[in-house]
A and B are shown apart, each in its own frame.
Chain A
Amino acid sequence: MKISFTVGIFSFIILLIVSCKPPVSDRINKEASKISISKLPENPLELTPLAVSLQPEAQTMATLYGNSTAAKRLKDGADYAAGSVLYLVTWKGKADPDWFGAKIPDRVITVERIFIGQNGKKNYAFFKGPAHNTGLEMKKDDRESAILSIPVAISP
């Protein structure tokens, strides 16, 4: 009887300790991280961030990512060389719950990929994100030149 009582108390204490653990997962922006990776050749979030942009009318925010070849542009300012892979991930923006005066990424609207092959041949692909609106029209040629002309974020 005594033993089962002690075991019971112990289990209760352990349960309390476990249930009191801070909910770490709440501090990860999971919604903004869902980009349907199974459809993409690479995970853009793992590439080097090159530029950030805002589209005030659409209330979206975007980050331009690149592979190591594309990231050379950060150092030398030259055009994207053959072998460059670029991704533009566009999110809906939302109010930062921790700072009045800031916006952070919400759900992903689109993921766009450009691969620059030999002789500068470009390959553009478009992927819908979870927050994609079917009314959104994306013209391949416009998007290609828009993405390639995004000014990279220069830091000293």
Chain B
Amino acid sequence: MKLKFKIVLCILALVLLAQLIRPEEISLAKTPQAKALTGVPQKIAKILETSCFDCHSDQTQWRWFDRLTPVNFLVASHIRDGRKSLDFSHWDSLATPQRNAMLYFALNGILSKEMPLSSYTALHPAAKLNPEDIDLLKTYLLNNAVSKPADVENAEKATEKQAVQGVKKSPNGIAYLPDYRNWKAISTTERFDNGTIRIIFGNPVAVEAIRTGKINPWPDGTIFAKTAWKQQKAKDGSVYAGQFVQVEFMIKNAKQYAHTKGWGWARWKGENLLPYGKTVKFDTECISCHRPERNNDYVFTTPLAINDLNRK
């Protein structure tokens, strides 16, 4: 009996001592100043504040149970990861299109039921969004954050194309693939959230995979090139592909890219095809956005049956 008591006492002492070891975040945590998002209605700001700010801003409200060691280390790591993919802390310094992109990203995270994390809402039930909250966010975005195409003359601007020479590799080592314009269009998309219009090209391996219906997972050798242009309005009211924005590649090789969900990710921006990303691990951003599609091999596009349904 005495021994049992001693053991319990020791464990208790250890638990108490452990409370002295805390993650940096919690040691530095001051009572956060409630700072509402500027430029959005109070109702919308409140929803985001309640459901997202603990992990996606510097305004974390640490509850007493979040502060206990070792739970606090887990919470701190969630916050670090959360702020890497979406961080409302710098809202004031962002331009409207970037703010809108954040709001669409947040809403799509909610709609795909990725966010808020169920492990988080289990202990923070107030963060759960009800259907009315989601409808409010949708309506707000549709009425206030739909990108309008640029109004320009319907002038045909096709001129002889100068190919960009010496396109630099992506920071993760992926080289630019200049031939994608000869591939098939596996789909097109109108993106009214950011005012672009897109063609998703698939290489011959991708087209064959679609034909045979073997697209989950996509076979090694599959490559997609998603090309975005700014929407440009013509006199007749139609909208065309205007200025080139970027091309993004997804290259499938389950072994080579095992550490990035089986895909090599790369993006080149603007007329000069500048590689996107500051560090080798820039692609965590790509994966974070594609995560809701993990049951579809991380691919958003539902492809057209290019040569299957239509073969005579």
Interface residues of A (CB under 8 A from B): 22, 24-25, 27-30, 32-35, 37-38, 43, 45-46, 48-49, 51-57, 61, 63, 65, 71, 73-78, 93, 96, 98-105, 146, 149-156
A101 interface neighbour in B161, B191, B231, B312, Cβ under 8 Å: B191
Q: List 8 A-B contacts (CB under 8 A).
A: A28-B302, A33-B309, A46-B307, A74-B181, A75-B161, A77-B160, A100-B104, A154-B157
For residue B224, CB closer than 8 A to chain A, the reply is no
Chain B residues in the interface with A (C-beta under 8 A): 104, 107-108, 111-112, 138, 141, 154-164, 181-182, 184-185, 187-194, 197-199, 201, 210, 213-216, 227, 229, 231-232, 234, 236-241, 244, 247, 271-273, 292-293, 295-296, 300, 302-312
Total of A-B residue pairs, C-beta within 8 Å? 186
**Could you say which residues of chain B place their CB within 8 Å of the CB of A53?**
197, 238-241
Chain B residues, Cβ within 8 Å of A101: 104, 108, 141, 191-194
CA A22 – CA B250 in complex, angstroms?
22
Quick check: A51 and B240 within 8 Å, CB to CB?
Answer: yes
6 tightest Cβ-Cβ pairs between the two chains A and B: A101-B193, A77-B158, A153-B241, A49-B185, A37-B310, A33-B305
Give bound CA distance, A55 to B305, whole Å. 23
A156 and B272 form a contact (CB under 8 A) = yes
A156 and B271 within 8 A (CB):
yes
Closest partner residue, chain A, to B213 (CB atom): A24
A99 to chain B, nearest CB (A): 6
CA separation between A76 and B158, bound complex, in Å? 8
Closest to B214 in A: A24
Residue from B112, B159, B201, B273 within 8 A of A156 (CB atoms): B273
A152 CB → nearest B CB, Å: 6
Q: What distance in Å separates the Cβ of A90 from its nearest Cβ neighbour in chain B?
A: 11
